[in-house]
Copies of this chain bind each other. A is one copy, B any other.
């Protein structure tokens, strides 16, 4: 693999984003290929959170809602996320969890198509999205799931809402957002895109695609910290015409008038509900600094470069150990993660983690590796592949510990 090591060194040396790595606190000796599950800590975030705790909360106390600007933080974070996903300022809100936001938008979307209470999704969607839809459709309507490649054909005039995750959480398969959204618009289907594995990893063009709604995650490629608040998008011209049934005081037109009747705020604020978790939001807000001045196309280029290199490495020995690429081989059809079907994949991943290479395992047999383009180097990618090869080569297949399946929680 020496040739690949050299290629990696060359690529790292010429990489326009290579300098961003210094802005993260990466544990020594770790090759972290799981930024798609929980992004790495940006180095300046601890000081920002500490300040929010000791000065903001501790000294300002209740006044902090004004003096620290906490009251507008959900919208201000939205303004910062907007350019990463091709959205107009004022069309993105940071709030709640991805699941809760999806529930809100499904309510809004289903209300737009009262005669077509059918939600179309795909079998590769992250289960929580399907669970949310099942919950929202429990009193009427239907969730239809088809294989990802059959989504376009399954769009019929009967379908009211198309709810897709752009990048498949297991395989990294990338849906063609422009094409599917355009087709949906022809058929009067309302679109909701889940950008959990897209935002911060590749350029997203919600405005250009004409998407109606979107949700996304703060703790993956946006590096907002464990369980960071999520975001939602609503197309500007829809915002004042729709709403959810999750109505709370922060989404009221005048939250501090304490009006007994709900009256939705204008614009994206109407999708706020309760009081936002400020400390977690401050961490996300600070983390977004690492995207300042970053060109998302450069991020995408580096993501593809890292993924292609990793695949080239694994190709060298995959056949010998029964590894089968589960992701699209064509980089244009892939997000920022790559996975393989791997015999005894759970045990293999545990062995990798024990050697300091963090990826993750997804049932039934997938080993999955994410490439966070802002802090991962090509050299690390080759190193991870080399360690995987060592593990596969040295494995004692007859030892029962490799077959044990601990509960993955």
Contact = CB atoms under 8 A, between A and B. Distances in A.
25 contacts: A30-B61, A34-B62, A37-B62, A38-B61, A38-B64, A40-B58, A45-B53, A57-B226, A96-B96, A96-B97, A97-B276, A97-B277, A98-B275, A99-B250, A99-B275, A127-B249, A128-B250, A130-B261, A130-B262, A131-B249, A135-B244, A135-B246, A219-B275, A225-B278, A227-B275
The 8 closest A-B pairs by CB, nearest first: A97-B274, A99-B248, A99-B274, A135-B247, A128-B249, A277-B280, A226-B278, A41-B58
A41 B399 CA distance: 52
Contact of A100 (B57, B59, B273, B407): B273
Interface in A218-264: 219, 225-230, 244-252, 255-262
A253 to B, nearest CB: 11
A288 B317 CA distance: 53
Interface in A339-390: 353, 358, 360, 362-363
Interface stretch (A65-73, A148-156, A303-311): A65-73
A127 B97 contact: no
A293 interface: no
The winner among A50, A58, A65, A251 for most chain B CB atoms within 10 A is A58
A227 B136 contact: no
A103 B104 CA distance: 12
Interface residues of A, number: 88
A46 interface: yes
A270 to B, nearest CB: 11
Nearest to A252: B131
Contacts of A363: 256-258
A195 to B, nearest CB: 15
Interface string A263-307: 000000000011111111101000000000000000000000000
Given A248-B128, A248-B131, A228 B27 contact: no
A97 B353 CA distance: 35
A409 B99 CA distance: 28
The winner among A54, A258, A360 for most chain B CB atoms within 10 A is A258
Nearest to A245: B135
A134 interface: yes
A207 interface: no
Nearest to A408: B256
Contacts of A65: 226, 409
Contacts of A128: 248-250, 274
A30 B59 CA distance: 9
Contacts of A132: 246-248
A32 interface: yes
Nearest to A228: B277
A63 interface: yes
Contact of A273 (B99, B126, B360): B99
Contact of A279 (B27, B34, B134, B226): B226
Contact of A50 (B46, B230, B251): B46
A396 interface: no
Given A65-B409, A226-B278, A262 B97 contact: no
A126 B123 CA distance: 42
Given A275-B97, A277-B280, A256 B130 contact: no
Contact of A103 (B56, B230, B246, B251): B246
A138 interface: yes
Contact of A409 (B247, B251, B255, B409): B255
Contacts of A30: 61
The winner among A30, A38, A54, A409 for most chain B CB atoms within 10 A is A38
Interface in A94-144: 96-100, 103, 123, 126-128, 130-132, 134-136, 138-139
B225 A57 contact: yes
B131 A262 contact: yes
